Chain A
Amino acid sequence: MKKLWKLAATAAAASLLVAACGGSDSASDTTQAPAEGADVKVAVVYLGVPDDKGWTYQHEQGILQLEQELGVEVKRVENVPEGAESEATFEALAAEGYQLIFATSFGYGAPMAKVAVNHPDVCFQWATGAKFLLTKAGGGEFADFDALPTNLGTYFGAAEEARYLSGIAAGKATKNNKIGYVAAFPIPEVLRGINAFTLGARSVNPDATVQVTWTKTWFDPTIEKQAAESLLDAGVDVMAQHQDTTEPGLAADAKGAKWVGYNSDVKEAAPKAWLTAPTWNWGPFYTKTAQAVAGGTCPTDEYYGNMQDGMVTLASFGESVDAETQSLIEEKKAATIAGEFAPFTGPINKQDGSAWLADGEKAELGFLLGEMLFFVEGVVGSAKG
């Protein structure tokens, strides 16, 4: 009987909670009206917070640009973990009447696609995604491409173009030909970056090698720093990174080494060490997509930007990058934008010295996106992580 009382008490507590809150209905209607002249309700979902000075920060800059150009107020949802539980967030946003939802991390793809099926009127955009991964063949839940929701697009860009250019700066800067690279996960996106960077470095310095350390995390200041320090102890004098924070750069700066950053132009974090960085410019894509949705169309392409359309950019140069190197990089950059140069153009050998691309042969985009799971010649370390 005593236990039953406890049960009753707990139930009563719950109903009190209901009663206590139910009484406050009157003051309730909080739905904020969107800014004057807005004709589209946009939301963006972030893995972290907008002031991380890296990946999310750069997306926030794009969202700010969208807000300014279209005069709308965008709903930010922060700190949403990837995976199955993010489904509730997308479902809630769709139910609240948001017409366009940007999801800025890879792990949101499958849950978002599920929600997209139930909300055909809402336009969903998946950053760094690939529709193949939603099909059965790619490990997803949809039978094939035809079964995919027709209100879902993906967007990403050819960071490898800017990686190659930043590699030139690194190849010129190294004195002992040892470059370090702190990398997140052994997946094609990251391997593409390392390989393009290495090709760039060796195009101006054939003796340079790039030593890779894996962290298995996108964002972890402590682990990123430790990984950079272990590379510096091994004697590298230039540091590159595929990570979200500035820690590898700060570690390099402390040892007097040079630094190629990523995501954002944060030269001021370590002006002495700074060479340059591959960076992102999401603003034009965000603005364009919101305009299309306002006009009644949901873009469902697998959008792959590059330096030509400006989604991928190169940050400003540091003070130690000399005029000759700068003009060399500017020259290659112009050729890239003009479509006359692509980083993965043969002859290129794999890490073990075997041939990959013959002279003049170009790698196909599909291969680069899904199947580049190896290193090119000049990289030190294991491509399996």
Chain B
Amino acid sequence: MPAPFRIVFEQRAETPKYLSALVPLISVLAALVAGALFLTATGYSATDTYKNMLDDGFLTYRGITETLGLSTVLICTGIAAAFSFQMNLYNIGGEGQLYLGMIGGAWAGLALGPHLPSFVMIPLVLIIGSFAGAVWIFVPAFVRARLGTSEIVTTLLLTYVASSLLKHFINTPDSFFRAKNVAFPQGRNVADSAALSPIGDTRLYPTFFVVVALALFLYWLVKKTEFGYRIQVIADSPRAAHYAGVSANRTTMSVMLLSGALAGLGGATLIVGPFARLDQGITLLGYGYAGIVVAALARNNFAGIIVSGILFAGLRVGGEKLQISTDTPKHIGVMMQGAILLFALGGEAFRRYKIRAVRMKAVAQ
């Protein structure tokens, strides 16, 4: 017997405001419930796990400063991803551009650091790191704008090249970036003038505030300026933009270059901040890829990315500490991050579509 109902998705002409607020709330709640079921089924206490993740990620002094510290780089890679996504360009190579930002920043810190004072060096490291990130995306941006080559493939593949480049600079004997007289291959510390001090005894650096200001600036840029308007027009309809005399090629180039620069800035914040040198460990942390998630959670809204970046950082910090504060494996934390993302993106369907059950008979007529 056929089912008496059929589920129908109808696109909403306009999303009611209460839904925009409700959907993320329910998504996060649903993820927590799903996670709790999994935890209980595998023999861990859901309340203990959540309480510890919350405490260690957001509520203790150490936890919240760690979270804000980590969010610095995640907000960078988040706005980098969102800046290209909003124009339907998919730069998913933020990870590689982040490595280049580290390489560029470390170069500046090592080569110029000994000769320049701190108030010149810190901005210089950030600028050169951003520039290096933009250089790394130049070829993908160029072939995308001129030949329409998929930037998804090119930016992703260049990430592997960037990873090899980073390892090359650390492992090669006599490399400029490698610590001298040290048997084990590791990066050389940048000059003191290129390294910021953290705030108090935390691992939160002043770059956090710079990055937050930058995100707010981008929010304004996209909403209020002609450049932002051009991006919106091209994103909505490249053809209409063409007739209106907007050059899609040039805007494509500038949007992708800026996207790469923002990811590179993320790498440079690590150099003036917690890393202070090239470190092969960065390739295991996936900050660049995390930026894609952060952008998606905030639906490419730059102000929202500040919130989703902090939320994501907190989940990660809290998750990392799980195996110390409880006996829960740290992969539970990783799983929770994944669950929240899945539910949040899944919830989009409810925001965009009206979902109704329709009687089969009525449909048949």
Question: Which stretch, A23-31, A280-288, A329-337, touches the partner chain B?
Answer: A23-31
Interface size class of B (residues with CB under 8 A): 35 or more
CB distance from A255 to the nearest CB of B (A): 30
Chain A's closest residue to B47 (CB) is: A24
Contacts of A75-116 to chain B: CB distance below 8 A = 75, 77-79, 81-89, 91-93, 95-96, 106-107
Task: List residues of chain B with CB within 8 A of the CB of A24.
Answer: 47, 50-51
- Residues of B within 8 Å of A7, CB to CB, are 301, 303-304, 307
Contact with A along B305-333 (1 / 0, CB 8 A): 00110110000010011011111011000
* A216-B24 in contact given A28-B48, A89-B324 (Cβ < 8 Å): no
Q: A9-B25, A17-B54, A141-B189 are in contact. Are A3 and B317 (CB under 8 A)?
A: no
Name the residue on B nearest A370 (C-beta). Answer: B183
Whether A84 contacts B223 by the Cβ 8 Å rule is: no
Please tell me if the beta carbons of A138 and B47 are within 8 angstroms of each other in the complex.
no
* CB proximity of A367 to chain B, nearest CB, Å: 12
B201 at the interface (CB under 8 A from A): yes
CA gap between A107 and B62 in the complex, in Å: 23
Given contacts A25-B51, A187-B184, A385-B171, contact A6 B281 (CB under 8 A): no
A140: chain B residues within 8 A (beta carbon)? 189
Judge whether A83 and B183 touch: CB under 8 Å: no
Q: CB-CB contacts of A355-371 with B at 8 A, as 1s and 0s? A: 00000000000000011
In the complex, residue of chain A having the shortest beta-carbon distance to the beta carbon of B60: A95
Whether A50 sits at the interface, judged by CB under 8 Å, is no
Whether B173 and A384, one on each chain, are in contact in the complex, defined by CB atoms closer than 8 angstroms, is yes
Query: A27 — nearest CB in chain B belongs to which residue?
Result: B47
By a CB distance below 8 angstroms, the chain B residues around A82 are: 280-281
Distance (whole angstroms) from the CB of B53 to the closest CB of chain A: 7
Is A14 an interface residue when CB atoms closer than 8 A count as contact?
Answer: yes
Q: Hey, which chain A residues are within 8 Å of B47, CB to CB? A: 24, 27-28
Minimum CB distance partner of B344 in chain A = A13
Interface hits, B34-81 → A, CB 8 Å: 45, 47-48, 50-54, 56, 58, 62, 66
Task: Write the nearest CB–CB distance from B145 to chain A, whole angstroms.
Answer: 28
B228 CB to closest chain A CB (Å) equals: 12
Whether A77 contacts B324 by the Cβ 8 Å rule is: yes
Give the docked Cα–Cα distance between A137 and B180 (Å).
9
**CB <8 Å contact, B280 and A88:** no
Q: B144 within 8 Å of A by Cβ?
A: no
- CB neighbours of A20 from chain B (8 A): 29, 32, 50
Bound state CA distance, A30 and B167, in angstroms? 42
User: For B307, what are the chain A residues with a Cβ–Cβ distance below 8 Å?
Assistant: 7, 10-11, 14
A138 touches B181 (CB 8 A): yes
- Of all chain A residues, the one with the shortest Cβ separation from B28 is A13
Looking at A8, A139, A185, A186, which has the most chain B CB atoms within 10 Å of its CB? Answer: A139
Given the known interface contacts A187-B184, A373-B183, the answer about A9 and B325 at a Cβ–Cβ threshold of 8 Å is: no
- Provide the bound-state CA to CA distance between A385 and B324, in Å: 38
Does A32 belong to the interface (CB within 8 Å)? yes
Task: Provide the residues of chain A in CB contact with B180, threshold 8 Å.
Answer: 139
Q: Does B304 lie within 8 Å of A84, measured CB to CB? A: no
Interface pair B184/A185, CB less than 8 Å apart: yes
Are B301 and A6 in contact, CB atoms less than 8 angstroms apart? yes
Whether the pair B275, A84 counts as a contact (CB closer than 8 A) is yes
List of B residues within 8 angstroms of A139 by Cβ: 179-182, 186, 188-189
Question: Complex: how many Å from CA A251 to CA B142?
Answer: 46
Closest CB of chain A to B354's CB: distance in Å? Answer: 18
Q: Does A22 contact B (CB under 8 A)?
A: yes
> Given A17-B28, A27-B45, A216-B171, A87–B304 Cβ distance below 8 Å?
no
Judged by a CB distance under 8 angstroms, whether A147 is at the interface is no
Contacts A7-B304, A96-B324: A84 and B201 contacting too (C-beta < 8 A)?
no
B56 cross-chain contacts in A, Cβ below 8 A: 92
* A9 vs B284: C-alpha distance when bound (angstroms): 32
Does B151 touch A at the CB level, under 8 Å? no
Complex-state Cα separation, A37 to B50, whole angstroms: 31
Chain A residue contacts of B173, Cβ below 8 A: 186, 384-385
B156 CB-CB contact with A under 8 Å:
no
- Considering the complex, give the chain B residue whose CB is closest to the CB of A214: B171
Closest B residue, CB atoms, query A24? B47
The verdict on B21 contacting chain A, using a C-beta distance below 8 Å, is yes
8 Å CB contact of A91 from B48, B62, B185, B284: B62
What CA separation (Å) do A4 and B21 show in the bound complex? 10
Which residues of chain B are near A8, meaning CB under 8 Å? 21
Residues of chain B within 8 A of A9, CB atoms compared: 20-25
A-B contact pairs, 9 of them (CB 8 A): A6-B20, A16-B29, A24-B50, A43-B324, A81-B281, A96-B325, A139-B181, A139-B186, A185-B171
| B interface, CB within 8 angstroms of A | 17, 20-25, 27-29, 32, 45, 47-48, 50-54, 56, 58, 62, 66, 167, 171, 173, 179-186, 188-189, 201, 203, 219, 223, 270, 274-276, 279-282, 284-285, 297-299, 301, 303-304, 307-308, 310-311, 317, 320-321, 323-327, 329-330
- Given A139-B181, A187-B183, 6 more contacts at CB 8 Å? A6-B20, A24-B51, A83-B282, A83-B284, A96-B325, A185-B171
